[in-house]
Amino acid sequence: MGKQINVALIGNPNTGKTSVFNALTGLNQKVGNYPGITVEKKEGICKLPRGVKAHIIDLPGTYSLNASSLDENVVIELLLNKKDKDFPDVAVVVSDVENLKRNLLLFTQIKDLQIPTILVINMADRMAYKGISLDIPYLEQQLETKIALISTRKNQGITALKDLIANFKELSVKPCLNASEIDTEYFDNLRKAFPNQLLYKLWLVITQDVNFGKTDRNEIDAVADFKTKSKADLKRLQQKETIKRYQFINDTLKKGQTIDLSTAKDLRIKLDRIVTHKVWGYLIFGIILLTIFQAIYDWSSVPMDFIDSTFASFSEWTKNKMPEGAFTNLIAEGIIPGLGGIVIFIPQIAFLFLFISVLEESGYMSRVVFLMDRIMRRFGLSGKSVVPLISGTACAIPAIMATRNIESWKERLITILVTPFTTCSARLPVYLIIIALVIPKGRILGLSYQALTLMLLYLIGFGAAVGSAYILNKVLKIKSKTFFVVEMPNYKLPLFKNVALTVIEKTKSFVFGAGKIILAISIVLWFLASYGPGDNFNNAEAIVTEQYASQNISQEDLQQEIASFKLEHSFIGITGRTIEPLIRPLGYDWKIGIAIVSSFAAREVFVGTLATIYSVGSDEEETIKNRMAGEVNPILGGPLFNFASGISLLLFYAFAMQCMSTLAIVKRETNSWKWPTLQLVIMSSFAYIVALIAFQLLK
């Protein structure tokens, strides 16, 4: 087996770093989180010439080594800690041919750390289009490095880059310029105080507020204490350093790069005027969103129905083929439906990330974020929060996963916590059956009362999300920088490979992350519904058969009655009876209580649970409606599902956190059980209070 080397991919956001990572690693990559923090860690394996393997880490995008966010801290901590297992043997700095001047600032800083560094100039296929020409030998000489001119779109230059990585020992580690000239006396004293340390590393330790992991803490503290200058003076020195670096970069590019503006064909300014317009911008965004969600609904319904029926058939087949007993029931009624509950989300997640990836790759998403930031900021959210909030109308799970590109931890956390208020597609079965029962069929201005009620529920959900974000912004004492910087990248056709890899990675992330928790809770719920204490449960068949002995009842109906009786006396049924005093003030009985408890697995389970309780097949929706309409309130008399209890139930489901999958993904994204627990308690309490007030006022 050949030697393995560590390669760090570093670069500004929007330089095509992910495309380079995908071109080098293909499917040999995995995504996780850095230990203890929620920043995403992407790593992969690349095979190099002569049997060498490269372990490639795609570091978060950063503009310089002067950290201002959690993402940028990750980059500095790794580059300053030689004891880290991922410390790079070679750094590959990815730049974009159109923004070379800005990208080179980071490159010159990394060179000062004396790490072998390769400069990748990406999007070379746009050079002729933009009238850019480069003198590569001159640039290599001035920058003391080797340059790989590549185009990931046309798959050019990747082999040459692999050769440069394999031969990294031949690279010069000399800095490009002498940055210590900004204050010779100060840096001479620093050099004398710590003669065995790299000068630029000392400077970064003094000016950065980062955690240096396994590095010798005493050594770091000693350096950090060498603050013979005030914070303001250090800040001024940092600015002088940046100016000095840009002077060097400007001098280098004067000879090394020529731009003939007459040949540059730029539609970008004209397009930006339209898509970021105060009126047309919002209209275009609205049309795109409507199209996306209609497509998600239409396209995912076929595979979701197929998955649903396949798992139902598989469950039935397992029951028929395996010997009767608890183990068969566990597999057929617990594990298989549990797996189905995970797999059924895949089409929605895949399609949503397909669209988000296309919008990001094309450069349009940055314009949306810019457009929405002014509105969102008033409520403690970022412009980037708009994507998860609107995605939540399909499903809260991929929507919460889509918060990862929000830099500020406070804004990201608030977005994660409020997104479940947005009405998701899983609430629809509950809404539709209750609306059909309690809202009359009349019309106003040509619109039916039922359609207006449904639209109102969507608006209430979005209003609750924005309102709770405003409160959380005031309550949460999290220090988080909220400078809004968004770069407007060039418009480009999305790369199919990047889009496909994003969809695969995000889907895998859900299936293996949240999936384990969903499966475990599904099995627990199955156990609670399938077993019960005492004679009533154990002798259910004999008791029910005796009850209906005098009636002419079909075998199928008898089995349904037995199932209903068993459910009532199972652990989950007893739970329903136990919580009945608590939910009676909302206008519900124990049967609705069971449906509420079991629908924690997934909101849409509510209708299926009621179907079992009311002794009818879950596919006979009209019969369920008839049976539900005929239910009598045991306390007040009259129909159980009346206008008051119906509105109460609709409002309860609008606000309650009735979805274990969402809690699982919140736990995964926040790295803590604290936030999903608070979310569950606060949302459920709020839902209870609103439902209680609604019922008491309307009854």
Answer yes or no: is 272 within a domain.
no
Helices 449-475 & 428-438 angle (0-180, nearest 10): 130
427-454 pLDDT tens trace: 877 887 788 788 888 777 776 787 778 7
pLDDT of residue 349: 75
| pLDDT band (50, 70, 90) for residue 477 | confident
Q: Using CA atoms, how far apart are residues 624 and 561, in angstroms rounded to an integer?
A: 14
* In 194-279, alpha helices (H): 199-207, 217-224, 231-256, 268-275
Q: Is the pLDDT of residue 493 over 90?
A: no
User: What's the pLDDT at 450?
Assistant: 79
* Band of residue 292 on the pLDDT scale cut at 50, 70, 90: confident
pLDDT class for 270, splitting at 50, 70, 90? confident
Picking from 497, 519, 551, the residue at the C-terminal end of a domain is: 497
Report, as an integer, the average pLDDT of 661-673.
87
- Distance between CA atoms of residues 319 and 578, nearest Å: 32
Q: Would the pTM of this model clear 0.85, i.e. be above it?
A: no
Mean pLDDT value of segment 245-273 = 80
Q: Is residue 234 part of a domain?
A: yes
- Domain co-membership, 65 together with 166: yes
CA separation for the pair 179, 111 (Å, rounded): 11
Q: What is the 3-state secondary structure (H, E, C) of 182-209?
A: HHHHHHHHHHHHCCCCCHHHHHHHHHCC
pLDDT on residue 214:
45
Q: Domain boundary residue among 210, 233, 263? A: 263
The structure tokens listed for 539 are: 């002798």
Whether residues 259 and 296 share a domain: the answer is: no
Q: What is the mean pLDDT of residues 143-167?
A: 91
H-helix or E-strand spanning residue 4 = strand 4-11
Residue 142 has pLDDT above 60, yes or no: yes
Residue 265 scores a pLDDT above 70? no
3-state helix, strand, coil in the chain (%, to 5): 65, 10, 25
Nearest residue to 4 via CA among 57, 40, 42: 57
Q: What SS3 state is found at 439?
A: coil
For 53-105, the pLDDT digits (tens) are 999 999 988 888 887 666 678 888 889 888 888 999 999 999 988 889 999 99
For residues 446 and 594, state if they share a domain.
Answer: no
Evaluate whether residue 274 is within a structural domain.
Answer: no
Same domain for 575 and 561 = yes
Residue 29, in any domain of the structure: yes
When mean pLDDT is compared over 118-132, 158-172, 337-351, the highest value belongs to 158-172
User: Which structure tokens are listed for 120?
Assistant: 């990748």
Of 202, 229, 263, the last residue of a domain is: 263
Q: What is the rounded average pLDDT of the residues 215-230?
A: 60
Greatest mean pLDDT among 12-16, 114-118, 316-320, 510-514 lies in 114-118
For residue 90, the domain's CATH number is: 3.40.50.300
Residue 290, domain member (yes or no): yes
| Same domain, yes or no: 151 and 2 | yes
Give percent of the chain with pLDDT exceeding 70.
85
| Local confidence band at 641 (pLDDT 50, 70, 90 cut-offs) | confident
In this structure, is residue 269 part of a structural domain?
no
Query: Is residue 1 scored above 50 in pLDDT?
Result: no
Q: What is the reported pLDDT for 360?
A: 78
Confidence bin at 634 (pLDDT 50/70/90): low
Rounded to an integer, the average pLDDT of 681-693 is: 95
Determine contact, residues 391/352, Cβ cutoff 8 Å. yes
Dmax (CA) of the chain: 105
At residue 5 the predicted structure's pLDDT band, cuts being 50, 70 and 90, is very high
For residues 690 and 552, state if they share a domain. yes
Please state the domain count of the chain: 3
Query: Percent of the chain, pLDDT > 90?
Result: 23
Same domain, 5 and 114: yes
Q: Are residues 456 and 364 in the same domain?
A: yes
Using CA atoms, how far apart are residues 656 and 457, in angstroms rounded to an integer?
13
Kindly report the backbone phi and psi dihedral angles of residue 493, in degrees, each rounded to the nearest multiple of 5, phi listed first.
-70, 130
Residue 34 has pLDDT above 70, yes or no: no
Q: Quick one: 580 and 433 in the same domain?
A: no
Is residue 428 located within the same domain as residue 525?
A: no
- Cα separation of 78 and 478, whole Å? 25
For 361, the domain range is 280-497
Confidence of residue 616 (pLDDT cuts 50, 70, 90): very low
Query: Alpha-carbon distance 148 to 161, whole Å?
Result: 6
Torsion of CA 136, 139, 144, 149, to 10 degrees: -40
User: H or E stretch including 45?
Assistant: strand 40-47
Give the pLDDT confidence score for residue 173 in this predicted structure.
92
Do residues 225 and 327 share a domain? no
Tokens of residue 507, six digits: 């889907």
Residue 335 DSSP label: I
Q: Same domain for 236 and 360?
A: no
Least confident range from 126-130, 279-283, 306-310, 663-667: namely: 126-130
Classify 79 as helix, strand or coil.
helix
Higher pLDDT, 596 or 220: 596
Angle at which helices 660-670 and 409-418 pack, to 10 degrees?
A: 170
Least confident of 280-289, 333-342, 483-492: 483-492
Give CA–CA dist 241/65, Å, rounded. Answer: 12
Cα torsion for 212, 411, 416, 391, to the nearest 10°? Answer: -120
> Is 268 inside a domain boundary?
no
**What's the whole-number mean pLDDT along residues 20-47?**
73
Is 270 a member of any domain? no
Residue 414's pLDDT is what?
A: 92
**Is residue 382 very low, low, confident or very high in pLDDT (cuts 50, 70, 90)?**
confident
Angle in degrees, CA 177, 74, 219, rounded to 5: 70
According to DSSP, the residues that pair with 108 across neighbouring strands are none
Q: How far is CA 335 from the centre of its chain?
A: 26
Q: Which of 159, 540, 510 is nearest to 346 (CA)?
A: 510
Mean pLDDT of the chain: 81
Strands 40-47 and 53-58 come out as antiparallel
